[in-house]
Amino acid sequence: MAASEFTGSPAFMDVSGTPIAFRRVEGVAPGIVWLGGYRSDMLGTKAETLSDWAAAKGHAFLRFDYSGHGESGGVFAEGTISKWIGESLAAFRALTEGQQILVGSSMGGWIALRLIQELRKAGEGGRVAGLVLLAPAPDFTSELIEPELTKKQQRDLVQKGYFEEKSQYSPEPNIYTRALIEDGRSNRVMTGPIDTHCPVHVLQGMADPDVPHTHALKLVSMLPADDVTLSLIPDGDHRLSRPQDLALLVRAVEGMVAQASPAPDRSLA
């Protein structure tokens, strides 16, 4: 792939009639697949940091925007977890080879967990070598949004089909649709033990105003303990984009790559 496709303008793939924008770095396996959060895009600090790291280390790296996000086509308000999982699955299958490490941020953590479920169902689970989850928000619609809905928000969902909420990260409000919330219920993963069949490293800020660290603790309690590392960052916020947070992210990915990569054969040394 030409360099301009990952340093300048994105490339596009068609998924169910929607142009999905992506950038990738060619390299060896295990590759890294970035799965962004709700209303985020692939040009954020964390994704850029991992892209630079992958290019320097010679590992493949893929990032893309869900429909309605960033440079992709589609309407944001028409998006659902199922739709974004479908796009992620299509990108994973079309644009990666060999084993991959899924790095999911916020909602991307939910997408990553559902992605591995779908891959395992299709007999492709072995392609995921590990998960690195940052401020993971699996089941956020039912676990974090629905219990906190005000009477007005409930009324808006019924009457308008959506409600708006002020965003800390954008002048435009967050929009949550009835379709998103209803679809979220059918994609829940935190209903019992979660079998990833690969190591998981969770990075969670304890000063996160959006996804409380108790949510990460609940998630970890459902994962196989011997394969899980939880790094709690006492003063970490939701974005985890400070230099020290980015350094921790890179170390987590490097550790996962080391676990996935075969040990060198020293029998002839």
Alpha helices in the chain (DSSP H): 4-7, 45-57, 81-95, 107-121, 140, 151-159, 178-185, 213-221, 243-260
| Digit-coded pLDDT (tens) for 5-64 | 445 799 999 999 999 999 999 999 999 999 999 999 999 999 999 999 999 999 999 999
For 88-124, how does the pLDDT look when each residue is reduced to its tens digit (9 = 90+)? Answer: 999 999 999 999 999 999 999 999 999 999 999 999 9
Q: pLDDT-based confidence at 149, cuts 50/70/90? A: very high
Q: What is d(CA 71, CA 65) in angstroms, rounded to the nearest whole number?
A: 7
Angstrom distance (rounded) from CA 104 to CA 144: 18
User: According to the model, what pLDDT value does residue 4 have?
Assistant: 34
| pLDDT (0 to 100) of residue 265 | 45
The C-alpha angle 88, 91, 94, rounded to 5 degrees, equals 145
Q: Which of the 8 DSSP states describes residue 204?
A: E
The CATH homologous superfamily of the domain defined by 4-257: Alpha/Beta hydrolase fold, catalytic domain (3.40.50.1820)
